[in-house]
Structure 1
Amino acid sequence: MSNRLAKETSPYLRQHAQNPVDWYPWGEEAFRRARDEDKPIHLSLGYAACHWCHVMAHESFENPEVARLMNERFINIKVDRQERPDLDDIYQKVVQMLGQGGGWPLTVFLTPQREPFFGGTYFPPQEGYGRPGFTQLLRGLSEAWQNNRAALRQNVEQFLQGYRVMETLMLEGETPPEQDQPAAAARLFAKNTDRVHGGLGKAPKFPNPACHDLVLRLYQRLHEPDLLRSLELTLDRMAAGGLYDHLGGGFARYCVDERWAVPHFEKMLYDNGQLVKLYADAYRATGKLAWRRVFEETIDYTLRDMTHPEGGFYASEDADSEGEEGKFYVWTPAQVEAVLGDADAALACRAYGVSATGNFEHGTTVLYRPTALDAAEEAQLAGLRDKLLAARAQRTRPGRDENILTSWNALMIQGLCAAYQATGTASHLDAARRAADFILERLSTPEGGLYRAWREGTAKVPGFLEDYAFLANALLDLYECGFDQRYLERATQLVELILEKFWDGGLYFTPSDGEPLVHRPRSPHDNAWPSGTSTSVFAFLRLFELTGRELYRERAEQVFAMYRAAAAQNPFGFAHLLAAQDFVQRGPIGIVIAGERSAASTLVASLQRRYLPARVLAFAEDVPIGMGRHTLAGQATAYVCRNRTCEAPVTSAVGLLERCLE
């Protein structure tokens, strides 16, 4: 027997469709029953690739006795946090206010009016891991609901007050003295980089692409060796470790250790999109060929394993297959020998660190690159890698979340655009266009807005700030790659909708016409991907440079002022906003090209191959700043503009780069 979740399009919700739990999706039907029966709501949030979500489902939600207790005493609601990041944001803050770190599965208990009174993350069925048992928790909260509701009401009031306090504190604080905040943050990240293994922090260790992007930007501006050293160490170690899939390409979500050795094997589109862009930008800045291999292999993975036949990108792949975490990815020497034979297996095992003892469970090895090979060995290894990849493809693959999410697709589109500009590889641009056209056709509302998610022909959930902001920037990148004016026009429309739907004395995460919730979040912090707030600021600034519309610049400056103190106190949480501040501090370069587009390819390519993080690029007839710009002697001609003033025209690629690098 299946429950209501069988009718949902979310892969995560469908994973729970056979539970004996009487699950509801988020919606009025569940709220009405909670009110009618005067029962509290048990809200469970997760996502399809979440390992501990699977564990809790198996231990508790598939257990008939636990399910009976849930059904008798609670109204149970399942939410896919990828479809509803607003709910995830609101109710994660409950766990944070309780002094916990947050995470998934997120377990929160609500009144029938959706007000929180208790929360946590994973709970084992019985007491353990330093946590109360889930059955114990259910009984205790149910009894409190029946017999001590005043205490729970007090919890509700404290949480509601806590929302207000958290946002007030974020806007308060001492404004830092006038200084180069982006440079100070980049130097801090470099100083705190693990000197042996790269990356920020200890185990578990995450890629943090927004922080490393800021370091790269500041290295390009300041040329300080420490910035480059920290970036090189991090990018090299991530690519050499188990975080990176050495056979199939692509990055896992994080590593459980500080050496990048053992990943949590799930692969997320948002990580891979950001890391393609980071490695492509770093390649443009340094010319380091090893980084080109990494981003191109990651693109190969995305196009091979994570792409809808019509061009959109899927959300994620699970860590587990056949009920075991990492089983799809790990190897033993015997398995390598069975594919390659003894002689070739010896080279492959040495290259990928495969040993009899292993570095993972049951004597298996997560592939990594412990030593450098000579050129002849690398050439031989490439063929062996293909054979191992083909053999691995015969294994049972991890589950794939085939939700197509607007914001995450936009991140991969930006990665593809950076890769195209770095290499000129036409297939990268083709893939970016197909994905963008998929989103524009299938996830646009009739009124011109955006939906959040699409699956199986159904678009659902009105878009959030990050959907509008990420897609606006992705479309601007696409315009700068191929100069298709429809992408520029749609990006401008999305920015206007950001101001209409999300601006009210600052930027909110949810639209003004969205579902009323117990709290309307702003969510300016970067998390695993940049915040919608900081990404909106980038879109404002880029369009201001192209259009001269003062409102865009004014709104960006207002956001900088709102979060200047918070960014100084917590640069890690505002790295992308500081990158936008760096864009402003440099005095952005606006480059306008006059002439036939086909005749300007040399000028355009010279700009695209160089890492110039504070430039915008357009053809004269497409943008207001291009008015009155003409060719010289019938040749394609570029105008370099700073602070609304354009320099003398230039027709050579060498001369153009010299102007941009002054």
Structure 2
Amino acid sequence: MRSGSSNKPNRLIHENSPYLLQHAYNPVDWYPWGKEAFQTARQKNIPVFLSIGYSTCHWCHVMEEESFEDPKIADMMNRTFICIKVDREERPDIDSMYMKICQQMTERCGWPMTVIMTPGKVPFFISTYVPKKSGLAGIGMADLIPQIAEIWKTRQDEIVNKTEEIKQRLNRITAAPEGAEYISPKDVIQKGYHLLAHYYDQNYGGFGRAPKFPAPHNIMFLLRHWNYTGNTDALKMAETTLTSMQLGGIFDHVGYGFHRYSTDEKWKLPHFEKMLNDQALLALAYTEAYQATGKKVYENTARKILRYVLRDMRSEKGGFYSAEDADSEGVEGKFYLWTEDEIRYILTPEEADLVCRVFNVKREGNFAEESTGKLTGNNILYMKGETSEIVEPTEKENEEIQKLLNQALDKLYEVRSARVHPLKDDKILTDWNGLMIAALAKASGAFQEPEYVEYAKTCTKFILDNMYDGSGKLLHRYHRENAGIDGFVDDYAAFVWGLIELYEATFEEKYLQKALEINDYFISHFQDEKGRGFYFTSNDRSGDLIVRSMEICDTSMPSGNSMAVLNILRLAKMTGDHNLESVASEAIRHLAAAISHNPISSTYLLSAFYFASEPGCEVVIAAEIDNAKDMIEALQTNFIPQCVYLLRPADSSESFTETIGYLKEMKGINGRPAAYVCRNYTCSSPVTDAVEMMDLIEYGKKNH
């Protein structure tokens, strides 16, 4: 409870979201989203004030401190509105719907999202952060509330009429894509690549202007574009972006992990919150870059991301927490910043000189106050190049310098650990955990690191034990021993992705069987009746929104449709299931037309298009897992995004070979492991050598 808060809790005290609980002692009479709030608004005939945010959002904290904890503002809100608080991470369906409306009504969209609407849930005012007092930042709460009260009192009929127009517009923009003329997915891919190249920052990597988000799915698409076409410019864009981010202040060089985004074009000055989904997707991108290039720097970065997550974000039961705040002690970034005097006090003179040189530490500071632009004396650690480029040592000296630098960073980490830590949002989300399972599983194979796969297996068990009903249905959120909220499209898509990666890392049949089981449930409950894609919510979820929407565009993570389509394509190739192939093909036909005007809004979907349209293969290794290590290592450490892998041990279960019928006749040769490389329902003669297997994969790709 904050110092300015009420001693009496509001209704949010009964919720499970850490974000809602942060507001439980506000003097605002907050309701959670639900029937009670809207029934009360209808009975009183007053508008609804909806505030959407999340626990690690800096400007959400600012708006709370300025307005929601102010007794006068709170009293005005309570008399004028029914006030509802929503955690966007807990209810992404609500957030997605109102964000679409925000993007239609105004250019200022973000969090906190401030929505004023009728009791029928249709907005007539929408904005982001609203200050307490009017000024350069726009109208303040003290003026906005009485203005809304007067408008509602005198022009309610006009408002209701306009909201009907808004509702109709919302129905159009959230609907499943209508069948248009056929557009080749390959044409959409090419257009997407050229648009990414157009927006690419030649100097610092990334795409577009500041603020810059990592968007790892853009990197994954570029790596595939290079892999399929040989276009080295695509690889250069991916590598430059990955390198610039890893050197910049957006990467935490002391404690590891990535901050959410960079406020500048150089990746130097971050917005300091850390999100689990970002860590998972960036770990995947750096792992794939290592597979594609063999460069150790990408492996090291991926390992550092995973080290941070396993150390700081893992629960005792094996699931992963959601986020860490940008603020500590009420100051954004305080936990991560250093003065030169601090560094010289903590380190030896030799260590301090090296750290200040490598990480651009200045006496006057390199971190400016956002509102004034003035230097504060504080420093964010960032690099302008690799250590060897800055110090220019000999090879032997480089090893010694790197050892000295690591020693210094360990000391800084120890001191920083004693500081007041940012708030940790300790809810566990199925979708973000699915992504982390995928990241750990892929990294375990790429780096041949068995520890990672054990963590992935433990997390999977946690989800299945606590957030799964045994028949295919997933729940979205777990907090305080309580699982709840029916799963959304992202939960199913991300968790199935994780299960597929976990199967290819372990070749344990149960993970592929579970992926198929949950995917079948997902298709039957989320698929549009015309096969055009997948809705955000299931067909048996009680409708508490004004529309049932379909999300196609990627955000900070790939859209549920993007992930689901690629999952279904991979499962179809693994099993030979023509029904799954048809589901994916029909969705692609509609989705390709839907994104054709702006393909870079869905780059992960472009990766799915590549998987569907380019030569691919199924690689089956007939052997016991311990006898096929060379073949398995070759598959896992190389970048082969067009292929799926299966293991056919002699003791495969009957149910497994029934599910994947073409495995039945595949056997080893004279007691040796045999690899079958299959394309278009035809398999090559088996080979018994890993090099021969990789040659067959590459030959088939080149001669398609």
- TM normalised by structure 1 equals 0.97
Query: Which of 271, 274, 282 is equivalent to 1:267?
Result: 274
Counterpart of 1:369 in structure 2 is 383
Query: Which of 521, 532, 537 is equivalent to 2:560?
Result: 532
The answer (yes or no) to whether the contact 1:319–1:398 under 8 Å persists in 2 is yes
In the alignment, structure 1 residue 613 sits paired with structure 2 residue 641 = yes
The answer (yes or no) to whether the contact 1:242–1:367 under 8 Å persists in 2 is yes
Counterpart of 2:691 in structure 1 is 654
1:485, distance to aligned residue in structure 2 (A)? 1.4
In the alignment, structure 1 residue 644 sits paired with structure 2 residue 658 = no
**Distance of 1:452 and 1:158 partners within structure 2:** 32
- Using the aligned pairs only, state the percent identity: 39
**Distance of 1:656 and 1:253 partners within structure 2:** 41
The answer (yes or no) to whether the contact 2:175–2:550 under 8 Å persists in 1 is no
Of 282-291 and 190-199, the range deviating more from structure 2 = 190-199
In the alignment, structure 1 residue 292 sits paired with structure 2 residue 299 = yes
**Distance of 2:178 and 2:598 partners within structure 1:** 12
Q: Deviations over 1:419-477 (max 9, x none)?
A: 11111111111111111111111111354300000011100100001100111111011
The answer (yes or no) to whether the contact 1:182–1:578 under 8 Å persists in 2 is yes
Q: Deviations over 1:306-327 (max 9, x none)?
A: 1101111110000000010000
Counterpart of 2:4 in structure 1 is none
**Distance of 1:329 and 1:414 partners within structure 2:** 29
1:297, distance to aligned residue in structure 2 (A)? 0.6
Query: Which of 335, 343, 351 is equivalent to 1:344?
Result: 351
Secondary structure at 2:485 match in 1: strand
Secondary structure at 1:76 match in 2: strand
Q: Deviations over 1:273-327 (max 9, x none)?
A: 0000000000011011111111101100001111101111110000000010000
Query: Which of 464, 486, 503 is equivalent to 2:527?
Result: 503
Taking a change above 3 Å as real, the CA distance of residues 59 and 580 of structure 1, as seen in their structure-2 partners, is same
1:100, distance to aligned residue in structure 2 (A)? 2.1
The answer (yes or no) to whether the contact 2:337–2:378 under 8 Å persists in 1 is yes
Q: Deviations over 1:98-131 (max 9, x none)?
A: 1324211111122223232321111111112342
Letter in 1 for 2:508: D
Counterpart of 1:487 in structure 2 is 511
Counterpart of 1:92 in structure 2 is 99
The answer (yes or no) to whether the contact 1:567–1:578 under 8 Å persists in 2 is no
The answer (yes or no) to whether the contact 1:44–1:107 under 8 Å persists in 2 is yes
Counterpart of 2:373 in structure 1 is none
CA RMSD of aligned residues (A): 1.6
Q: Which runs of 5+ in 2 are unaligned?
A: 1-7, 369-375, 700-704
The answer (yes or no) to whether the contact 1:214–1:576 under 8 Å persists in 2 is yes
In the alignment, structure 1 residue 443 sits paired with structure 2 residue 467 = yes
Query: Which of 473, 481, 485 is equivalent to 1:457?
Result: 481
What pairs with 1:17-56 in structure 2 (closer than 5 Å)?
Answer: 17-56=24-63
What pairs with 1:548-567 in structure 2 (closer than 5 Å)?
Answer: 548-567=576-595
Taking a change above 3 Å as real, the CA distance of residues 101 and 417 of structure 1, as seen in their structure-2 partners, is farther
The answer (yes or no) to whether the contact 1:4–1:17 under 8 Å persists in 2 is yes
The answer (yes or no) to whether the contact 2:185–2:609 under 8 Å persists in 1 is no
**Distance of 2:624 and 2:612 partners within structure 1:** 31
Letter in 2 for 1:129: L
What pairs with 1:311-390 in structure 2 (closer than 5 Å)?
Answer: 311-361=318-368, 362-371=376-385, 372-373=387-388, 374=393, 375=398, 376-390=400-414
In the alignment, structure 1 residue 201 sits paired with structure 2 residue 225 = no
Q: Deviations over 1:482-538 (max 9, x none)?
A: 011111111101111111110122311111011312010101111110011111101
Counterpart of 2:145 in structure 1 is 138
The answer (yes or no) to whether the contact 1:546–1:625 under 8 Å persists in 2 is no
The answer (yes or no) to whether the contact 1:187–1:227 under 8 Å persists in 2 is no
Counterpart of 1:600 in structure 2 is 628
Counterpart of 1:221 in structure 2 is 228
**Distance of 1:167 and 1:74 partners within structure 2:** 27
Letter in 2 for 1:80: D
Letter in 2 for 1:399: L
What pairs with 1:130-279 in structure 2 (closer than 5 Å)?
Answer: 130-167=137-174, 171=178, 176=183, 179-279=186-286
1:182, distance to aligned residue in structure 2 (A)? 2.3
Letter in 1 for 2:643: R
Letter in 1 for 2:412: L
Secondary structure at 2:670 match in 1: coil
**Distance of 2:183 and 2:590 partners within structure 1:** 12
The answer (yes or no) to whether the contact 2:195–2:600 under 8 Å persists in 1 is no
Query: Which of 418, 430, 451 is equivalent to 2:442?
Result: 418
**Distance of 2:184 and 2:489 partners within structure 1:** 30
Of 156-165 and 126-135, the range deviating more from structure 2 = 126-135
**Distance of 2:186 and 2:547 partners within structure 1:** 35
**Distance of 2:352 and 2:25 partners within structure 1:** 43
Of 518-527 and 114-123, the range deviating more from structure 2 = 114-123
Secondary structure at 1:119 match in 2: strand
1:588, distance to aligned residue in structure 2 (A)? 2.1
The answer (yes or no) to whether the contact 1:328–1:395 under 8 Å persists in 2 is yes
Secondary structure at 1:248 match in 2: coil
Secondary structure at 1:363 match in 2: coil
**Distance of 1:114 and 1:501 partners within structure 2:** 25
Of 320-329 and 88-97, the range deviating more from structure 2 = 88-97
Counterpart of 2:667 in structure 1 is 630
**Distance of 1:178 and 1:458 partners within structure 2:** 43
**Distance of 1:179 and 1:265 partners within structure 2:** 38
Secondary structure at 1:109 match in 2: strand
Taking a change above 3 Å as real, the CA distance of residues 95 and 278 of structure 1, as seen in their structure-2 partners, is same
Taking a change above 3 Å as real, the CA distance of residues 380 and 332 of structure 1, as seen in their structure-2 partners, is same
Letter in 2 for 1:394: A
Taking a change above 3 Å as real, the CA distance of residues 101 and 436 of structure 1, as seen in their structure-2 partners, is farther
The answer (yes or no) to whether the contact 1:9–1:455 under 8 Å persists in 2 is yes
In the alignment, structure 1 residue 522 sits paired with structure 2 residue 550 = yes
1:388, distance to aligned residue in structure 2 (A)? 0.8
1:73, distance to aligned residue in structure 2 (A)? 1.2
**Distance of 1:249 and 1:259 partners within structure 2:** 19
1:645, distance to aligned residue in structure 2 (A)? 1.1
1:60, distance to aligned residue in structure 2 (A)? 0.6
Counterpart of 2:67 in structure 1 is 60
Q: Which runs of 5+ in 1 are unaligned?
A: none
1:165, distance to aligned residue in structure 2 (A)? 2.7
Secondary structure at 1:19 match in 2: coil
**Distance of 1:51 and 1:243 partners within structure 2:** 16
Secondary structure at 2:628 match in 1: helix
1:135, distance to aligned residue in structure 2 (A)? 2.5
In the alignment, structure 1 residue 120 sits paired with structure 2 residue 127 = yes
